[in-house]
Amino acid sequence: MNFSVQRLTNSFGQSMRLAFGSQFRNSATFRAPRLQARRLQTTFAKMDDSISYKFGPHTIPGSHVFVLSDLSFGFVNLKPVVPGHVLVSSKRVVQRFADLTPEEVSDLWLLAQRIGRVVEPHYGAQSLTLAIQDGACAGQTVPHVHIHVLPRKAGDFPRNDQVYDEIDHKAAEYDKAAKTQSADPSPGPGEKLDLDKERRVRSHEEMAAEAEELRGLLLCC
């Protein structure tokens, strides 16, 4: 059977081969794309703790940020769902995922991937949950694109998908807790929120210590 093979390139630069024949005129075969690797430029050792970063309406202290890339940053969570639950956000304040540039999308996910490779073994986990709440109806409470990176262990929730309920719940609490800490920049360790009597707001010192630890881990990997 005779085929004519035509190579096309889509908007992402992915190479596709379309095979045309008498019985396959409407079929397409795809091969693994040959994408030009994007190098992730990250900063660890020379991070300036005096520089703060915007996360929607909130301000993230530099001491809570553990990695910077060209277009994104990773920071520790005020009220983590599980140990090692961290956030990765674009440096530019953008509310919806669709509003990111292609470069920002690539940078954001590459940084999340690198962070995941480190936090999973460090926290004794065997898997990862990476989640985006894209818009208010999806549970987004901070109007700034961000990825939740959560190290996961077998049996850490009664129902595996319960993690998403917890992310939604803690996202709402984060917004309230962040506003509370903005009003009082030095809350005492163990301060409680009415929304959650069982999980305390972490102190600035605890979060800075975790960020420093993660900086060291990422520097080595």
Rg of the Cα atoms in the chain: 21
DSSP state of 123: T
- Which one of 64, 85, 144, 146 is the catalytic residue? 146
Following CA atoms 198, 202, 203, 208 in sequence, which dihedral angle do they give, to the nearest 10 degrees? 160
Phi, psi of 181 (to 5 degrees): -70, -30
141 annotated ligand binder = yes
Structure tokens of 130? 């990476």
Active site residue 146: yes
DSSP state of 39: P
Alpha-carbon span 13 to 105, nearest angstrom: 15
204 annotated ligand binder = no
Q: Are strands 86-90 and 72-76 parallel, antiparallel or unpaired?
A: antiparallel
Q: Which candidate, 67, 88, 50, places its Cα nearest to that of 215?
A: 67
Residue 35: count of CB within 10 angstroms of its CB = 11
**3-state SS assignment for residue 185:** coil
The counts of H helices and E strands in the chain are: 3, 10
58 annotated ligand binder = yes
Alpha-carbon span 167 to 130, nearest angstrom: 11
Q: Which residues carry out catalysis? A: 146
Binding-site positions for substrate:
58, 77, 133, 139-142, 148
Annotated binding-site members: 58, 77, 133, 139-142, 148
